[in-house]
Amino acid sequence: MSQNNRNLTFFNKSNYIWMLVGLVLIIIGMLLMAGGKSTDPNVFNEKEVYSFRRITLAPLTIIAGFIIEIYAIFKKS
Protein backbone atom coordinates (compact mmCIF):
# COMPACT_ATOMS: atom_id res chain seq x y z
CA MET A 1 0.00 0.00 0.00
CA SER A 2 2.80 2.40 0.84
CA GLN A 3 4.55 1.73 -2.49
CA ASN A 4 1.39 2.46 -4.52
CA ASN A 5 0.69 5.60 -2.54
CA ARG A 6 4.21 6.85 -3.17
CA ASN A 7 3.83 6.48 -6.96
CA LEU A 8 0.63 8.55 -7.00
CA THR A 9 2.23 11.73 -5.67
CA PHE A 10 3.04 14.21 -8.41
CA PHE A 11 5.27 16.53 -6.41
CA ASN A 12 7.98 15.99 -3.84
CA LYS A 13 9.41 18.31 -1.22
CA SER A 14 11.66 20.09 -3.72
CA ASN A 15 8.69 20.96 -5.95
CA TYR A 16 6.78 22.43 -3.02
CA ILE A 17 9.78 24.50 -1.94
CA TRP A 18 10.11 25.95 -5.46
CA MET A 19 6.37 26.66 -5.52
CA LEU A 20 6.66 28.50 -2.22
CA VAL A 21 9.59 30.57 -3.53
CA GLY A 22 7.55 31.50 -6.62
CA LEU A 23 4.54 32.44 -4.52
CA VAL A 24 6.68 34.63 -2.25
CA LEU A 25 8.10 36.44 -5.30
CA ILE A 26 4.60 37.04 -6.67
CA ILE A 27 3.47 38.45 -3.32
CA ILE A 28 6.57 40.68 -3.09
CA GLY A 29 5.88 41.97 -6.60
CA MET A 30 2.29 42.81 -5.70
CA LEU A 31 3.43 44.64 -2.57
CA LEU A 32 6.00 46.60 -4.60
CA MET A 33 3.26 47.65 -7.01
CA ALA A 34 0.90 48.84 -4.25
CA GLY A 35 0.66 52.43 -3.11
CA GLY A 36 1.08 55.71 -4.93
CA LYS A 37 -2.01 57.24 -3.41
CA SER A 38 -2.07 60.99 -2.90
CA THR A 39 -3.44 62.57 0.25
CA ASP A 40 -5.16 65.22 -1.87
CA PRO A 41 -7.49 63.76 -4.53
CA ASN A 42 -7.00 66.85 -6.70
CA VAL A 43 -3.23 66.31 -6.97
CA PHE A 44 -1.77 63.71 -9.35
CA ASN A 45 1.80 62.79 -8.43
CA GLU A 46 3.18 61.39 -11.67
CA LYS A 47 6.60 60.55 -10.22
CA GLU A 48 5.03 58.41 -7.50
CA VAL A 49 2.63 56.51 -9.76
CA TYR A 50 5.08 55.96 -12.63
CA SER A 51 8.14 55.21 -10.53
CA PHE A 52 10.74 52.57 -11.45
CA ARG A 53 9.52 50.38 -8.60
CA ARG A 54 5.92 50.21 -9.83
CA ILE A 55 6.48 50.19 -13.59
CA THR A 56 9.58 47.98 -13.94
CA LEU A 57 10.68 46.23 -10.76
CA ALA A 58 7.30 44.94 -9.57
CA PRO A 59 6.19 43.39 -12.90
CA LEU A 60 9.59 41.75 -13.41
CA THR A 61 9.40 40.29 -9.90
CA ILE A 62 5.91 38.92 -10.59
CA ILE A 63 7.00 37.42 -13.93
CA ALA A 64 9.99 35.80 -12.22
CA GLY A 65 7.61 34.32 -9.65
CA PHE A 66 5.41 32.85 -12.39
CA ILE A 67 8.45 31.42 -14.20
CA ILE A 68 9.56 29.74 -10.98
CA GLU A 69 6.03 28.38 -10.49
CA ILE A 70 6.10 26.86 -14.00
CA TYR A 71 9.53 25.38 -13.29
CA ALA A 72 8.28 23.91 -10.01
CA ILE A 73 5.30 22.28 -11.72
CA PHE A 74 7.30 20.73 -14.56
CA LYS A 75 10.33 19.73 -12.43
CA LYS A 76 10.72 15.95 -12.35
CA SER A 77 10.75 14.29 -8.95
Q: 2 in a domain, yes or no? A: no
- Asked whether residue 60 is assigned to any structural domain, the reply reads yes
Q: Is residue 69 situated within a structural domain?
A: yes
Q: Which domain holds residue 38?
A: 11-74
Question: Residue 48: inside a domain, yes or no?
Answer: yes
Number of structural domains found in the chain: 1
Tens digit of each residue's pLDDT, the chain (77 residues): 555 555 667 889 999 999 999 999 999 999 999 987 778 888 888 888 899 999 999 999 999 999 999 999 999 87
**Torsions phi, psi for 65 (to 5 deg):** -65, -40
- pTM (predicted TM-score): 0.82
Classify residue 40 by its DSSP letter: S
Is there a domain that residue 67 lies in? yes
Please check whether residue 59 lies inside any domain of the structure.
yes
> Which alpha helices (H) appear in the chain, and where do they start and end?
2-7, 13-33, 46-49, 52, 58-74
Phi-psi region of 48 (alpha: psi -120 to 50; beta: other; left: phi over 0): alpha
Does residue 1 sit within a domain?
A: no
